[in-house]
Structures are given as structure tokens and as C-alpha cells.
Amino acid sequence: MRFITSLCLLLSVCRAILVPGPTGPYAVALKEQPLTDTSRPDPFDPTGKSKSRRLLVSLYLPVDASRRLCPAVKVPYMTPPVAASYGHQATQVGLPDTLYYPFEMEFCDLEKFSPCGQASNKKNEYPLVIFDPGFGESRLIYGAMARSLASHGYVVVTVDHPFDAPAVRTDDIIFIINQLTNSTITNPLLADFPGTINTSHLAIWGHSFGGCTAASVLHADNRVLGGLDLDCMLINPVLSTGISKPFIPRRPQGPQHRGSVMK
């Protein structure tokens, strides 16, 4: 009997492991939005049939719940296909392929927080931060980090690059920025969000090759005010021309790179 009880407890833990909550004072809501760039075909679609470049983004939205508690909703940390992909990687270091399936994250449920799908208070403005993942990585693996930053009062947008390739990343991000400044996209998407995105206060950060993308977008788009590179060696044209805006490369730079990041 004790064995069965212990086994049931173990299975219950494995079915749901809640990721620790965010560190900031704000509750965080989550939205996902597909975006289609009809001006660009997808050059890396292996089928060759895609006439438009399609992207998927997640929006982590800070919610001021100081006056009213936000109802919570739990969601899987990853979708089953993404969890299966990372699970396959886990087996290569001796971990089970089901490693990521049990994890869940808790978010503010805007459907219950904003009755009738309309937020009553849109006065709060939040700066926008775009996060770009490492090459070939899913945006979902960075979910806890994005949620944590959002809890400090930032709208955080994470990005997936289908058929990932360096040649399309900068254009992908610039297109996403265009969409986030387009009210025909944001008004219905954020109708129940008690706040607005302040796109005039926009920064970008990325991990690994996403850090290179962050530098490239900062170099190419005047709307982006600053950036952060987590562990990527900078490449041209940024390496040769430098960046005149605030940019933090979080990687030891060799003598050949010193002085060439910011000018």
C-alpha cells in the first residue's frame, strides 16, 4: 500500500511541475499571435510553396494587480511538439525524453480579469522589449526569463523564426515591430490588456545568434533605442561600422573587437 501511495505521489509530481513565479511586482499575462508578411516569400520553406513569410510571437504582458487580484491560469511550458524536440536532445545526455512535458507556468487570466473582453483602464504604458532566441531554438525555451522581465513592467515579445536562417532574421524583427505599431493588429489583440505598449521606448535583446540579430536590428532600425547581446560574436556590418546607440555585449571581446561595438 505504501508503495502504491508513493508511486501515485511520484506520478502526480511528474504530471505537473509548476515553474517558480516571476520576480517582479506585476502579474503577467500571455498572448500568442501569428503574423504573416505578404511582402516576402519564405526562401527557406523546404516545400517551396510558401508565398509569404509566416512568424509566431508570444507577448508577455505586465498587469497591475495591486488593487485587484488577477485570476491565475496554468499553461504548459512548451507545446507537445517542442517538448518532444527538446526531449530528444535530453536523451543524448542521459535524461528522459519526457523531461519537459510536466512543466507548467502560471499567468494572469485576462479573460477573467477584464470582463466582456475589454479592459477598463488603458492608462498604464509599458516599454517594449523584443527577445530573439538562439539559432534553431524555440522561443518557448525562454518563457520563464521573458515572464520574469515582464513582471518588472515591460511588454516582452519573443519570436520564432521558421526554417531559421541568419539571412531572414533582421527583416523578421523589423516586420514584427511594424506589426506592433499597427493598430489594426494591436487593438483586437490587446483589447483585454489593461495597458498599452509604448513603442517609442523599444529595446531588443537576444541569446547566441539572437544577440547578433539584436545588434543588426539596432543598427538598421532607428526606432530601437538600445540592445543586449547574450553570448554572440558580432558580425558585419555591425562589426565594421559599430553602433552609435547603447548596446551591451555580454561576451568577452578580443582585442580585435574592442572599440568596434559602439562608436
The CATH class given to the 24-70+104-250 domain equals alpha beta
Q: Are 227 and 249 in contact (CB under 8 A)?
A: no
Q: How confident is the model at residue 88 (pLDDT cuts 50, 70, 90)?
A: very high
- DSSP codes, 210-239: HHHHHHHHHHH-TT--EEEEES----TTHH
| Tens-digit pLDDT profile for residues 116-160 | 666 767 788 999 999 999 998 999 999 999 999 999 999 999 999
Q: How confident is the model at residue 234 (pLDDT cuts 50, 70, 90)?
A: confident
Residue 58, pLDDT score = 97
Closest to 113 measured CA to CA, from 148, 57, 73, 151:
73
Could you tell me the three cell numbers for 227? 540592445
d(CA 191, CA 108): 15
What's the count of helices (H) and strands (E) in the chain, helices before strands? 8, 10
| Residue type present at position 13 | V
Domain positions in the chain: 24-70+104-250
User: How many residues are present in the chain?
Assistant: 263
Q: Are 126 and 197 in contact (CB under 8 A)?
A: yes
Cα angle vertex 124, ends 121, 130, to 5°? 125
Cis peptide before 237 (omega within 30 of 0): yes
d(CA 214, CA 217): 5
| Tens-digit pLDDT profile for residues 9-35 | 443 445 789 999 999 999 999 999 999
| Tens-digit pLDDT profile for residues 91-105 | 999 999 999 999 999
Q: Are 130 and 201 in contact (CB under 8 A)?
A: no
Largest CA distance in the chain: 70
Q: pTM value?
A: 0.87
* Strand order through the sheet with 125-132: 27-37, 53-63, 155-160, 125-132, 196-207, 226-230, 247-250
